[in-house]
Amino acid sequence: MSVHSSAATLVEVPRGLAGVVVTDTEVGDVRGLEGFYHYRQYSAVDLARSRTFEDVWHLLVHGDLPDAARSAAFTAHTAGLRRLPGEVAAALPTIAAAGAGGNPLAGLGTALSLLGAAKGFRPVYDIDADRRREDTVVATAAVPTLLTALYRLGQGREPVEPREDLSYAANYLYMLTGSEPDPVRVRAVEQYLISTIDHGFNASTFTARVIASTGADVAACLVGALGALSGPLHGGAPSRALDTLDAIGTPGRIDPWIRARVLAGERIMGFGHAVYRTEDPRSRMLRDIARRFGGPRVDFAIEVERRVEAILAELKPGRELHTNVEFYAGVVMELCGLPRAMFTPTFAAARVVGWSANVLEQAEDRKIIRPAARYVGPHAPVPVPTA
């Protein structure tokens, strides 16, 4: 079906642009019917199991996996970009005092704008590809420093200076806690970070690309993506999945709690995904990580997952519903000592790499993204009434 206007012929599309292809990409893809997703030509889960965060970061922004020498050089280069310009560091207490200490993700947008100004970021259409790439690396390297500083300031504690001798994930945990990071927890967080770097044409990625299509600078693109990520339908669920476990409380309450929610038609946080019609491969990997830690919390989460699927099969036959990334992400991050207020910010510390790769790709196309809307208001023109 089509509708006509004086300007163009408009084609109706599904609500939310569901299933509509709006561009070509080499960054990665999600194959929801297969339960598989990839970064460039590599399985994202395989990358999380076998490579470092820095290696996958290199893959996304440079286009290939580095050998040992280039990996070491890229790791050293990015580690050297973690310290903040003085004027940005000086502004963080004010940002935290304005309320961002309790919500570091909100403060990150303001801080990234300041960083872009301090670093002299210019419109992506006015600079060459190498400078664009370096701007994304500068911004990404600073994100963990900004997030952990805002969180600690909100807790009434001083920020912890970054260390160049630690990996991205280890340094993140170090700046958050102020303690030497445990290698087992570091690797668990690193695998989580890698698994969430990119995930198809989600709302925040699309937002970043729309802004990049205007020629805006890298900081503006990333801040826009952060705004999209802050919505609870996109990036705000890991802590809510843990809230589900807390609300159930004990094994004896699992079945009645789940039955009541299913019969009432309520959503069970941590279950279901807009794309996957099979088990979320990220959830499968994170469940394996959680099992490595073991303990009552993990056993309880696995039992809840098992009973949700069984009760749905009984009450809603034919309806497929599996855990999504948020369910076991919350469990793993809790086991690694991350506070719930930092769950979604931690997600952002990974996804900024995927946004960067998409911004770089979009910047190669100088066509602005400018869709149309179908007007459904009162007939126009109507004479303007006199006062």
Report residue 2's pLDDT band, with 50, 70 and 90 as the boundaries: very low
Q: Is the pLDDT of residue 265 over 90?
A: no
Same domain, 109 and 227: yes
Whether 126 and 57 map to the same domain: the answer is yes
Residue 343 included in any domain:
no
Model confidence over 194-240: pLDDT tens digits?
999 999 899 999 999 999 999 999 999 999 999 999 887 786 666 77
At 319, the pLDDT band (50, 70, 90 cuts) reads confident
82, 188: one domain = yes
| The pLDDT value given to residue 135 | 98
pLDDT at 6 over 60: no
pLDDT digits (tens, 9 = 90+) for 121-173: 999 999 999 999 999 999 999 999 999 999 999 999 999 999 999 999 999 99
CATH of the domain at 211: 1.10.580.10
User: 264 and 193 share a domain?
Assistant: no
Same domain, 146 and 58: yes
- 124 shares its domain with 169: yes
Query: What's the 3-state SS for 318-344?
Result: CCCCCECHHHHHHHHHHHCCCCHHHHH
Catalytic sites, residue numbers: 273, 326
Instruction: Classify residue 30 by its DSSP letter.
Output: E
130 in any annotated domain: yes
Instruction: Assess contact for 245 and 300: CB atoms under 8 A.
Output: yes
Residue among 218, 226, 214 nearest 61 (CA): 218
At 324-381, the pLDDT tens digits run: 778 889 899 999 999 999 999 999 999 999 999 999 999 999 999 998 888 889 998 9
Task: Specify whether 71 is located in the same domain as 210.
Answer: yes
Using a pLDDT cut of 90, give the percent of the chain over it.
Answer: 71
Asked, for residue 207, whether it belongs to a domain, the answer is yes
What's this model's pTM, rounded to 2 decimal places? Answer: 0.91
286 within a domain of the structure (yes/no): yes
pLDDT score of 290: 95
Closest-CA residue to 221 (of 136, 303, 137): 136
Q: What CATH number does the domain containing 301 carry? A: 1.10.230.10
Q: Is residue 25 part of a domain?
A: no
In a domain, 6, yes or no: no
> Is residue 242 located within the same domain as residue 206?
no
User: Which structural domain, as residue segments, surrounds residue 288?
Assistant: 238-335
Distance from C-alpha of 78 to C-alpha of 173, rounded to nearest angstrom: 17
Report the C-alpha gap between 191 and 195 in whole angstroms.
6
The single residue listed with the structure tokens 């003085």 is 86
Distances in Å between the Cα of 239 and the Cα atoms of 73, 228, 290 are 36, 18, 16
Q: pLDDT value at position 8?
A: 52
Q: Are residues 278 and 356 in the same domain?
A: no
* Residue 108 counted as domain residue: yes
255 and 221 in a common domain: no
Q: DSSP characters for 203-234?
A: HHHHHHHHHHHTT--HHHHHHHHHHHHTSTTT
Banded model confidence at residue 279, pLDDT cuts 50, 70, 90: confident
Does residue 67 sit in the same domain as residue 166? yes
* 192 and 110 in a common domain: yes
State how many domains the chain has.
Answer: 2
- 58 domain-assigned: yes
